[in-house]
Structure formats: C-alpha cells, structure tokens
C-alpha cells in the first residue's frame, strides 16, 4: 500500500491520543506485514538455493554420463609388458600380440613404475604407454587369506581356557621362547590339529595365537584347494609354505583338513589322485620343516575320524586338541563377549540366555547377539533388552534348518 493511500485512510478530526494510538496500530500492522514478507523472502531464498543445488547435481550427473559415454567410445588399449627402459626415455615393450616396439610414454606416468616386467596399457595406434596396470594377481593367492597381524585376542574367546593353554604351550611357546625346548632337548610338536564341530572357535583360536605372537596368519581352506585348483593343489601347498617362510614368524592355518587329508583309497578316480598328490606334498613339506623354526602349522577339521593316518604320525600333526561345543557357562561367556560393545538394558540375564541356547555353537551365539541388536535398532531403542535376545533366539531357532548339527557322538 503506498503512503499516499495510507494518508487517505487517516480519519479527519481525530484527537492527538487517538491519532497516536492509530499510528501505533499502523506501525504494528506494518511490522507484521514486514515479518511476513521477510519470511516469504527467506522461503524463496531457500527454494532458490535448493534449485541451485539441484542444478549443480544434474550438471554433475550430465558430466559423468558424458565422460562415461566418451570412455565407452574410446578405442581399446593394448596390453603390453615393459622389456627395457632406454636412456633417452623411450621404452621397449612387448605387445600382447608378440612383436617388440620402441615407444614413448605419457608424462603422467611415474617413471619408477616403468620397470622391466611391468604390465602397461598402450594406445592402440601409436602404442605409447598410457598407464601402468596392476601386476596380475596370482590366482592362487585368492585361495589364501593372509593377515599380517590379526587383532583377535584370547579374551575374545569364550570358554576354551584349557584349549587356549594347550595351544599356547604347543604353538606360542616354540615361537616366542624356542630356547625352552632346546634346553630340555625336546622337539615341539610340528603340527597341531584342532578338531570339533563347526563354529566353535577353531579359526578364532588360531588367529589369537598369531596375534599374541605377532605372527602373520595364513589361512587356507582345504576344500578350495580341491575344488578350484585341481591339478595345482601340490603347487599351492609348496607356495603356501614358501610364503609362510618369507613372512615368518607365521602361522599356517589349514581349515577343513579332511578335504585334502582324507584316508587314501585304492580305487581312486583321477580327481582323487590329485587330492592325494596335494596331500603328499603337504606331508613332504611338513617333513622337511624345522620344528623349532618360526613357522607353525595349525589345522582344523570336523572329521578327525576320516583323516589319513600318515597325517597323524609323530612329526606331523601329532598334537590333537578337541574344541567341544560350548557348555552353559561358556555360552554365557560367548554371549557376553559378543555383546561387549553393545548397550544393554539391566534386565539382560546371560545365564538365563545360556540356558535357553543349549544346542548353539559360538557362531550361533554371535548371530543371536547381532539379531538382538537388530531388534533394538528396528524399534529405535537406545539399548538392547532381554526381550530382544529372547526374540532373536526364537527367530534363529525357527529359521535354522540345521538338524542336530553338532552331534556329540562323532567326536567321542
Ligand atoms: P569351522 O569349522 O566352520 O571353520 P570354526 O570352529 O573355525 O568353524 P570360527 O570361525 O572360529 O569357527 O567361529 C566362527 C565365529 O563364531 C567366530 O568369528 C566367532 O565370532 C564366533 N565364535 C565361535 N566360537 C567362539 C568362542 N568360543 N568364543 C567367542 N566367539 C566364538
């Protein structure tokens, strides 16, 4: 409303009090309008910023799509390998098709990476080196899990005190204090075999020893050796021991030993013979191996009954440690360990939970704590209550199709 308009609204013949009241009212009204307009301006400003943000986002997406399109349209790069680097900066390469060429290289390439044997990508017309490719990964390495120093500690293991003591004596002591064995004049056991039902903490125990002794942990699963690398298992075993020596002190952990170490039978198929060759290689590596050295071997199996007796002879896997299903107390401890970092309500009673999870192994119990946590998250609570655990136990037992997975008789 213009000022002229507003002046026209002033009533004629008004007293000075009335006039000032009138003016106050007008000021109030105008202030309210001013606030309203300011709010609108803020809103519009926000909308403007939002739209600008959206615009930037779409522009970015457009750029990405364009560059993706460019990339798809770009000619393929040829793969080659560096044969030699010449003094004038030129490089001799062998292209994947065979012949050798002298080519230049892009300036963005770090010259220290251009060493004979490096895999490089080449422009398909000039064959100039465009980039250095990562060295091709030995597929065998995929079968192994290598952790330079695992972070598992003995306190992460629930209820296996006796087994931890035995493993410390047989694996940790020869690594940390070999002189104790020398003094007495005995050889420490070369290989330790952990046997027991799945999910009871065998791998965990091996990792804990590796961590305690600051050793590298090299895990290999027997069945992977057999399934993927048929015909190459023996080589992999050789590589495994070589790697363990290079990375020493180290602990080799062979999981599912039964899949390569099952008793040899006469009527073997060619596949079985390959498995046997792998086993023979393992035996010979173990024989040619210094018991007091700083590579220790731990193997795990759920079927000790089918292992080849040759594996169990003295000087090979000559120490057996049984890892049983957790008892009630151990179950309570495992539940406590896995909920150590969780926020728990006061009503959570681990003893009662342990009593309710009679057939569960360590891995099941870990799943129970995770699931209980999920229930609390779902209900947006700040802590996990007993009922969450009860629901988790119910859910996992219902969804579990495992029959009596952990039949005790097998390991008697
Ligand atoms: P498998 O024979 O199937 O290889 P395993 O005996 O090696 O089984 P692990 O891999 O050690 O079992 O255990 C699986 C998971 O279960 C572990 O990562 C750990 O979280 C949990 N777990 C098992 N046993 C225990 C235990 N005694 N204390 C704490 N956690 C455990």
CA 291 – ligand 1 centroid, Å? 27
CA 201 – ligand 1 centroid, Å? 3
- How far is Cα 340 from Cα 373, in angstroms, rounded to an integer? 12
Please state whether 374 falls in left (phi above 0), alpha (psi between -120 and 50) or beta: alpha
Peptide bond into 223 cis (omega under 30): no
* 3-state SS class at 215: coil
Torsion over CA of 85, 87, 88 and 93, rounded to 10 degrees?
-20
Q: What pLDDT is recorded for position 307?
A: 85
CB of 222 closer than 6 angstroms to any ligand 1 atom: no
Whether residue 175 has pLDDT greater than 80 = yes
CB of 95 closer than 6 angstroms to any ligand 1 atom: no
CB of 357 closer than 6 angstroms to any ligand 1 atom: no
Mean pLDDT, rounded, for 249-263: 84
Q: What pLDDT is recorded for position 124?
A: 82
CB of 255 closer than 6 angstroms to any ligand 1 atom: yes
| Residues facing residue 147 across a β-bridge | 217
Mean pLDDT, rounded, for 148-168: 87
| Strand 317-322, strand 250-255: pairing | unpaired
CB of 334 closer than 6 angstroms to any ligand 1 atom: yes
Confidence of residue 408 (pLDDT cuts 50, 70, 90): very low
- How far is Cα 128 from Cα 309, in angstroms, rounded to an integer? 59
Percentage helix, strand, coil, to 5, in the chain? 50, 15, 35
CB of 201 closer than 6 angstroms to any ligand 1 atom: yes
CB of 202 closer than 6 angstroms to any ligand 1 atom: yes
Q: What pLDDT is recorded for position 11?
A: 62
Please, what's the largest Cα pairwise distance for the chain? 126
DSSP string, 244-274: HHHT-SEEEEEESTHHHHBPP-SS--HHHHH
CA 163 – ligand 1 centroid, Å? 14
Nearest to 305 by CA among 258, 256, 268: 258
Residue with the nearest Cα to atom 10 of ligand 1?
203
Mean pLDDT, rounded, for 77-99: 82
* 3-state SS class at 151: coil
Ligand 1: atom nearest CA of 330 is 27
Mean pLDDT, rounded, for 293-314: 85
Whether residue 75 has pLDDT greater than 50 = yes
CA 355 – ligand 1 centroid, Å? 20
153 to each of 191, 211, 237, 351, how far by Cα in Å?
Answer: 21, 7, 28, 24
Confidence of residue 280 (pLDDT cuts 50, 70, 90): confident
Mean pLDDT, rounded, for 300-312: 86
Ligand 1, from 150, 155, 200: best to mutate by most atoms within 8 Å of Cβ? Answer: 200
CB of 304 closer than 6 angstroms to any ligand 1 atom: no
Whether residue 125 has pLDDT greater than 50 = yes
pLDDT in tens, 47-74: 999 999 999 999 999 999 998 888 788 7
According to CATH, the topology of domain 78-133 is OB fold (Dihydrolipoamide Acetyltransferase, E2P) (2.40.50)
Residue with the nearest Cα to atom 8 of ligand 1?
199
CA 289 – ligand 1 centroid, Å? 29
Which residues touch 210 (CB under 8 Å, ≥6 apart)? 147, 149, 150, 152, 216, 217, 250, 251, 253
CB of 257 closer than 6 angstroms to any ligand 1 atom: no
Nearest to 244 by CA among 218, 267, 265: 218
Confidence of residue 130 (pLDDT cuts 50, 70, 90): confident
CA 363 – ligand 1 centroid, Å? 5
Nearest to 316 by CA among 404, 204, 167, 191: 191
State the DSSP H helix or E strand holding residue 374, giving kind and residue range, or none if neither.
helix 362-378
Mean pLDDT, rounded, for 99-123: 84
CA 51 – ligand 1 centroid, Å? 52
Confidence of residue 164 (pLDDT cuts 50, 70, 90): very high
Confidence of residue 411 (pLDDT cuts 50, 70, 90): very low
Mean pLDDT, rounded, for 344-353: 90
What is the CATH number assigned to the segment(s) 328-396? 1.10.8.60
Mean pLDDT, rounded, for 388-399: 80
CB of 189 closer than 6 angstroms to any ligand 1 atom: no
Confidence of residue 265 (pLDDT cuts 50, 70, 90): low
Mean pLDDT, rounded, for 159-182: 87
pTM listed for this prediction: 0.63
Q: What pLDDT is recorded for position 10?
A: 58
Query: Which of 34-43, 102-111, 339-348, 385-394 has the lowest average pLDDT?
Result: 102-111
Whether residue 141 has pLDDT greater than 60 = no
Within 13 Å and on the Cβ side, how many CA atoms surround 403? 2
CA 177 – ligand 1 centroid, Å? 28
- The CATH class given to the 141-322 domain equals alpha beta
Q: What pLDDT is recorded for position 184?
A: 86
Starting at the edge strand found earlier in the chain, the sheet holding 100-103 runs: 100-103, 91-95, 78-85, 119-122, 129-132
């Amino acid at each position: 409303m213009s000022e002229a308009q507003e002046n026209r609204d002033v009533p004629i013949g008004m007293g000075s009090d009335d006039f000032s009241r009138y003016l106050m009212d007008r000021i109030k009204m105008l202030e309210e309008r001013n606030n309203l307009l300011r709010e609108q301006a803020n809103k519009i400003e926000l909308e403007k910023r939002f739209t600008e943000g959206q615009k930037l986002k779409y522009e970015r997406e457009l750029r990405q799509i364009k560059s993706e399109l460019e990339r798809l349209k770009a000619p393929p790069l040829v793969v080659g390998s560096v044969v030699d680097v010449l003094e004038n900066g030129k490089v001799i390469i062998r292209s994947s098709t065979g012949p050798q060429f002298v080519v230049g290289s892009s300036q963005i390439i770090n010259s220290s990476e251009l060493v004979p044997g490096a895999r490089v990508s080449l422009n398909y017309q000039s064959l100039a080196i465009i980039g250095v490719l990562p060295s091709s990964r030995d597929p065998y390495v995929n079968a192994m899990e290598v952790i330079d120093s695992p972070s598992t500690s003995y306190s992460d293991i629930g209820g296996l005190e006796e087994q931890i003591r035995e493993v410390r004596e047989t694996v940790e002591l020869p690594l940390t204090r070999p002189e104790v064995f020398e003094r007495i004049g005995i050889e420490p056991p070369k290989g330790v075999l952990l046997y027991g039902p799945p999910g009871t903490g065998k791998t965990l125990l091996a990792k804990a020893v590796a961590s305690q002794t600051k050793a590298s942990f090299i895990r290999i699963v027997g069945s992977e050796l057999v399934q993927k690398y048929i015909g190459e298992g023996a080589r992999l075993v050789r590589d495994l021991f070589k790697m363990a020596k290079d990375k020493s002190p180290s602990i080799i952990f062979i999981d599912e030993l039964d899949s390569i170490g099952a008793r040899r039978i006469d009527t073997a198929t060619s596949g079985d013979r390959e498995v046997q060759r792998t086993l023979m290689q393992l035996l010979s590596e173990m024989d040619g191996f210094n018991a007091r050295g700083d590579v220790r071997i731990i193997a795990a199996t759920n079927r000790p009954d089918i292992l080849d007796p040759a594996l169990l002879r003295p000087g090979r896997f000559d120490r057996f440690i049984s890892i049983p299903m957790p008892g009630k107390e151990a179950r309570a401890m495992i539940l406590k360990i896995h909920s150590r970092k969780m926020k728990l309500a006061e009503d959570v009673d681990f003893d009662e939970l342990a009593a309710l999870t009679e057939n569960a192994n360590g891995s099941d119990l870990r799943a129970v704590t995770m699931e209980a946590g999920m229930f609390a998250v779902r209900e947006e609570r700040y802590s996990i209550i007993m009922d969450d655990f009860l629901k988790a136990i119910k859910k996992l037992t219902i969804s579990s199709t495992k029959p009596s997975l952990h039949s005790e008789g097998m390991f008697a």
